[in-house]
Every structure is written in structure tokens, then in C-alpha cells.
Structure 1
Amino acid sequence: MTTQRTWDELGGGMPTEEFRTATEAIVANIEQVIEGKTATVRLALAVLLAEGHLLIEDVPGVGKTKLAKALARSIDCSVRRIQFTPDLLPSDVTGVSVYNQENHDFEFKPGAVFANLVVGDEINRASPKTQSALLECMEERQVTVDGVTYPLQTPFMVIATQNPIEMEGTYPLPEAQRDRFTARIAMGYPDARAELAMLDVHAAADPLDNLGAVSDAATVRGLIATVRGVHVSEPVKQYAIALVTATRESQDLRLGASPRATLQLLRTARAVAALDGRDYVLPDDLQALAVPVLAHRIIPTADSQLSRRTTDAIVADLVHRLPVPTDRRSGTSQHYDRRR
């Protein structure tokens, strides 16, 4: 059985039990602050382990920033927070070269992106020019200022929050930047039980103030190495390509998902499989991730917008209509666990 083998035997990373203990500790720690959102918390952690970036979009007051800060505080590593405002400059994000009168030379002052976890609050309140300052660091994990390139630390993740674009004082994110976010999630309103628990816990004090770290950067690097070793069979790879291709051929869309989306879909599926205790990816993983990973990257046609069809609904419909690999009908997962 694959569950009896260690991840080291499967290509790197940490033992299965150690992986499960570390990830469950992070999830439980975040849930001290975020009530009743286990699936959302696990997806946020999956994006971190997939070496991606997370966009949290929803109306004000539902806990977007709390989720981002809780994830950042759960890991003992460098964390920087950027409050995006209309007057924020690109140099505030990336850094700037300042003339040093003592040695008569320019000295680089690093910006807020020089951290393991960068929390960008209300990212769409800054101008597109400032938003674009994140493009290089999110994709290439480096920053170039005045012709000099500075590498960023590992792990590196941008967790950004934004309000819906219909809200006052917001700018739409550029398409190139949306494509660099691995997944977009919505917090949603809590159910009555979770909101009642929130009133009991949050009324006297903010639990975020006393939230401590339960992991560190070295452990996260081990978790990431473990996720890289998760197996993806050939039929699952072909299914991922078929999902992305369907967005490019859809009559409801004028811009489909990019090849980067295919890669990040598989990376996130590996992380989700590992969090579920598997060392192989199932088509079900891709189906569950299709909306959060693909929907924010695509652009609907004018007719779709007039009919008020959301990109989430379009992607969900494509997943429903696209046939899954035929071996899935046998009811077993042995095919997807087969090593080549």
C-alpha cells in the first residue's frame, strides 16, 4: 500500500506521518481565528505548498485579511504587510536605490516583497502601475531595480485580498497579474453556528493577537518537497490539458486559461492530494480545483456578461460536460497510482 511508504521513498520530502502532523497543526492553528471555513483554510495551505500565490476576494468584513494574517503568523518566517492605497508607489513594493553620502554610492533599500510571506491588503485599491510591480516577483521570484536583480527567499508567497470591483475606489487587476495568482477564493458569510462561536471568541479579544507559529520556513520547504513528489499519471495530465483547452474553445469566453494555468492546476492538485494523505492525483482533485484555479484567469464574452453568467458558472459547466478519464469508471484508484 502506498500509505505505508515514506515520501522519501517516493522521491523526496518528509515521512507521511510527519507531513500530516505538520499540515494539520497549521490548519488547526488558523481555525483558531477563522471559524467554520476548513475547506477554505486547506485550499489556502495547498496554494502555499504548491509554491503559488493566493487571491482572496469577497465583500468587506468577512475575514479576508484575518485569513491571510493567520496563515502568515502560523509559520515562523519573515512576513511583510502592504496596505495598498491609491498613492502607493511601485518603489514602495519592490524597493529603491538611495544615495549614500558617506560612501558616495547608491545603496539598495529592499521593499516589502523581500519576505517569505507578503500580505497585500486590498490590492485593487492601488493603481494598475503599482499592482504591476508584483509581476516579476510573483512569477520569477526575483526583483530587478536599476538594472540589478535581487533573488527572493524561499518559500515565497503573495497572499492578496481584494474587494469586488463593483465596490467604490477599486481598480481591476491587470490580466497578467490575475494569471499569476494560483487560486482565487471567496470567504463567504459564516453559517449561524460559526458566527455564534465567533461572537463568543472574538467579543472579548482578537484571537489573532495571541496566535503563535506552529511551523517554520525549513519545515515548509520540506512540505513543498513532499508535494513535488506526488505522482500524476498520464491520463490525469491529459485531463488537466482537456480542462484548460475547453476554456479556450468555449463560446462563452473570449480569453481562455493560459499554459501557466495548466501547470498551476497540477501543482495545486498535488498539494491537495498530499493533504488528503495520497501520493497520487485523482481526476476528482482537478474537478474540485477547476473553479478556484481557472475562473479568475478567463474573460467572458459580451453576451455572457449581458446574460450575467459568471466565470465560476462557466468553468463549473465545462467541468460538468467534459468526460473524465475512462479508467475512473472502474471505481478504483490503482490506475492513477501506477508508477511509470
Structure 2
Amino acid sequence: MSQDTTPAGSPEPDPTPAPLEPAPGYDSPVNSEPVAAPVEAAPVFEPQVEPPVAVAAGSSLLARLGAELFGTFFLVLAGLGVALYASAQFAGVGGGAGALAVALAFGIAVAGGAAAVGHVSGGHFNPAVTLGACIAGRTPWRDLLPYWLVQLVGGAIAASAVFVTIPSGLAAQLSSGGTGPTTTRAFFSGLANGFGDHSPLGTASSGELTFSLFAALVVEVIVTAVFVGVILGVTDRRADSKIAPLIIGLTLAVLILVAMPATNASVNPARSFAAALYSDTWAWQQLWAFVVAPLAGGALAAIVYRAFANPPLDDEEFGDDESAYEVEEIVVVERSA
């Protein structure tokens, strides 16, 4: 059979296509299986942790201590200042309008102090409150002693201010009838906390009606426990913290009215220390009871609070002392690969 040629005489190309050359790596000339196109990998986002950034989330320790000193100073100044002259005017701190005036003075002062600087330090102004806040998980234990120290100093400064401003002839005038205090220290001793013959009821009855040491301890433990318990409750995040200062102030006023006939109402070791500072010797001899009992009451309230509020919740305004420290913020940034 002759091969067809073109008019030019060259061989006509064969219409049958040439077989495909096998691709490298394949055994057969043509891969009969369909080959899927390679899928491009989706971008992967990997979190990248930046170095920790220290941010100032609240007040420094110095600022917190300053706030506690101011608040305790204000509380003791208002309470003792009103009590001193209410006792002179109404003849007995534990009776009549004098008792109401003293209770309101302490209550309004603690409410004002809490509203003013509570967001700085927690607004304790009371060693028993600070102890309760530490046990309840509101305040770090490392702040306990510094808080106690400035609270005592603030109370001492306030007591000094009240004592040095007493008119020199006031005690003599009050004792002109033969029944009043004969010295300025004796007059100031009416502010001190006491039991037995030195309780307000014992003084008013000339020792015929007295509250024993046991009764005084029980009263102070109970009223302080109630006070600290109310503070922990109203400053919880689940409570309305806007009215916390008012509730705390009213609670303190009521509890002072309860305890005043028995012990002259301590509820606060810093207040008791301040009043004893310029009082007669008996006030120093009985001071231990008004340190131990309020601290025991504050601890009792905190233990009960922790048992019924587990885990303890930090409060926003007065007990959230942790917010006053520098914290580390971890910034997470998403970046594509």
C-alpha cells in the first residue's frame, strides 16, 4: 500500500494522535484515575501572647493607709467630740438625748468616711472590720498590721484634738455641785469604755447596778459581729453598693444605742484606745476587754459569712481591696500565619 502524499510531494501526516508520554512517576502511559487538584491550606490563626503588661488598677498602699487614717480620725473625732459635750449637757453619755446624739454622730461619721474614701482603702476605720475582711477574703493578710497601725494613729490624733480643746475650767464648773469630775482627765474618762462600776449604768447608779465583765464581753462580741456581718453583706457584689454607706452608718448607730448602757459602746478597738489615751488609770486596766471582744466579734462574723457565701465575693466599693493592687494583664493578639 502506497503512502499518500501532499501536492508538494511530502508525506501526509498521520491523523492518529501520538500516544501520551507517561508522566514521571507513573507506571502506565495514561493515569485513568482522576487526580484532585491540591487543596490550598486555610490560614491558621495562632494566638500570640505578648509580654505581661503591668497596669495600675487602683490605689497604692500609701494611699490606702492614708485613707484609713483619715477615716478613723474623722470617725473618732465626730464620735468622741459629740459624746464629750453631750455628756456634759445631758448628764450622762448613756441616757436620754445624749445617747441618741452620740449614736448618730458615730453613724453619720462612718457613713461619710465610707462614701468619701471607701473606694480607696475599703473604708474599714476599725481593726475588727479589717480582721473580718481578711478572714472573709476581702483584704490580703499582709495589710492587716499596717491597717491596724494607721487606725490606732488616726484615733489617737482625734482624741488628742478633742482633749487639748477642752476648756480648762470646765471640769471645775461641772464639779461645783460635788458630783461631777474634778479634773480634765476625769471628765475625758466619761468617753472611755468600761464594765462593772465604770459602765455607764454603774456610774449613773453609783455602783448599785453594774454590768459584769462577762456581760460586757458578750455584748461587745454580739454587736461587733452584727456590724461586721452587715458590712460584708452590703458590700457584696450581689448587693446594691450605692446605699452601703447609709446602711453601715445606720447599723452602727443602732448598735451603739444597744451597747451604750453596758459598756459605753466600743464596737471598735481604735475608738476604745483613743478614749483611754487621756483617761484615768482604770480605762487602761479595762482596755483589753474592748480590744479582745470586738476582734472576736469581727472574726466570728467573717467565719459565718464565709460559710454561707462560698466562695466569698469581693465587693465593688468597700471590701474589694484586691482591686487596689497592681495586676498583670495578659494581652492575646490573633495573627495570621
Identify the structure with bigger relative contact order (alpha carbons < 8 Å, sequence gap 6+). 2
Normalised by the size of structure 2, how large is the TM-score? 0.24
Whose strand fraction is larger, Structure 1's or Structure 2's? 1
Whose helix fraction is larger, Structure 1's or Structure 2's? 2
Normalised by the size of structure 1, how large is the TM-score? 0.24
